[in-house]
Amino acid sequence: MNAVIIAVVQVVLFVFLAPVLIGVIRQVRATIEGRAGVGIWQPWRDVRKLLAKNPVRATDSSWMLRAGPVALVVSSLLLCVLLPLVGTIPFALVPSDLFVIVSVMLIGVVALALVGLDGGTAFGGMGSSRHMTVAALVEPTLLLSIYAFSIPAGTSTLSVIVETRLLSPEVIISPVSVLALVALSIAIMAETARLPIDNPGTHLEVTMLHEAMILEASGRDLAWLEVGSWLKLAALLGLVGNLAVPWGVLTDFSALGLAVGVVSITVKVLVLGVVLSVGEIFLAKVRLFQVPELLAGSFALAFLAVTASYLVA
């Protein structure tokens, strides 16, 4: 029962938080660059506007254009349900197993790639192809960093991992955990199409991954695609936040703990959003064919993390 309450709270919280996070990221960037910015509520206004429009669809597009956005949003919402964001009380039959979480995320990746192909234009296919290439190359980093996290806790269940880190904080500064966290962060940047893998701010063909796929979508199709991507970013930032700074997360159910959990995860996500935004100012997008190099680097880090866990036992 407690698990259900936490899941509902997480879903509701992140549905409200995700657009705000995007607003904050954009506003911070605008402020640092000396622009006025549009305020942190603009993503909300965008979604409302898009939902009240008649979507335009191509005659040759199939049901994928309708189902894909739903699949993306559902996969992102499932992330919010399964990840230990506010509290670490999992469902008994569907614990927050990291392998399951990665696969749930991949449902969204696949849905987006298929939406990109469904438009029947060169742009959509290009974005889809690049997106899947990056997704394929990120996979080893993701799974190996999961492996590295699972070693101190003895399980790949994320809520147990977070609790272990809460109980013995010295694990957090161990080389295994530091390397794995860095590798996981690079992988998440790649998965959520942020700099330096993709530039979320441009519509220039040579730099596009994510934007290219959603060019043909409009109206509510576009709105749900955007919301799904935002939710994914927010949930994954929340995961990084809870792995790096597990304090504040709810372990024993209580009303006060729930409130603390909500506040702490909100703060963590927004702080990470600001860090991300400031960090992106100093980064340029790397060339597409240098992305594998970056991913190989993150893979090496994840691999060293696992090996180091056997070395420094």
Out of 178, 244, 260, 274, the only residue in the binding site for another protein (CB under 8 A) is 178
Q: Which of 44/91 has CB closer to another protein? A: 91
Out of 73, 89, 161, 213, the only residue in the binding site for another protein (CB under 8 A) is 73
The reply to whether 44 sits near another protein by the rule CB under 8 A is no
Q: Which of residues 107-166 bind another protein (CB under 8 A)?
A: 107, 109-110, 113-114, 117-126, 128-130, 132-133, 135-140, 142-144, 146-147, 150-151, 154-157
Task: Encode burial over 163-182: b for 16+ CB neighbours within 10 A, e otherwise.
Answer: bbbbeeeebbebebbebbbb
| CA nearest neighbour of 214 among 79, 108, 96, 312 | 108
Which residues make Cβ contacts (< 8 Å) with residue 40, sequence separation at least 6? Answer: 20, 23, 24, 26, 27
Distance CA 197, CA 286 (A): 6
Q: Which of 28/171 has CB closer to another protein? A: 171
The reply to whether 94 sits near another protein by the rule CB under 8 A is yes
The reply to whether 14 sits near another protein by the rule CB under 8 A is no
Residue 264 Cα distances to 91, 123, 128, 271, angstroms: 22, 41, 36, 10
The reply to whether 308 sits near another protein by the rule CB under 8 A is yes
The reply to whether 292 sits near another protein by the rule CB under 8 A is yes
Q: Which of residues 210-249 bind another protein (CB under 8 A)?
A: 215-216, 218-220, 224
The reply to whether 252 sits near another protein by the rule CB under 8 A is no
Q: Which of 52/259 has CB closer to another protein? A: 52
Residue 37 Cβ, how far from another protein at the closest point, in Å?
Answer: 27
**100 within 8 A of 88, measured Cβ to Cβ:** no
3-state secondary structure 144-158: HHHHHHHHHHCCCEH
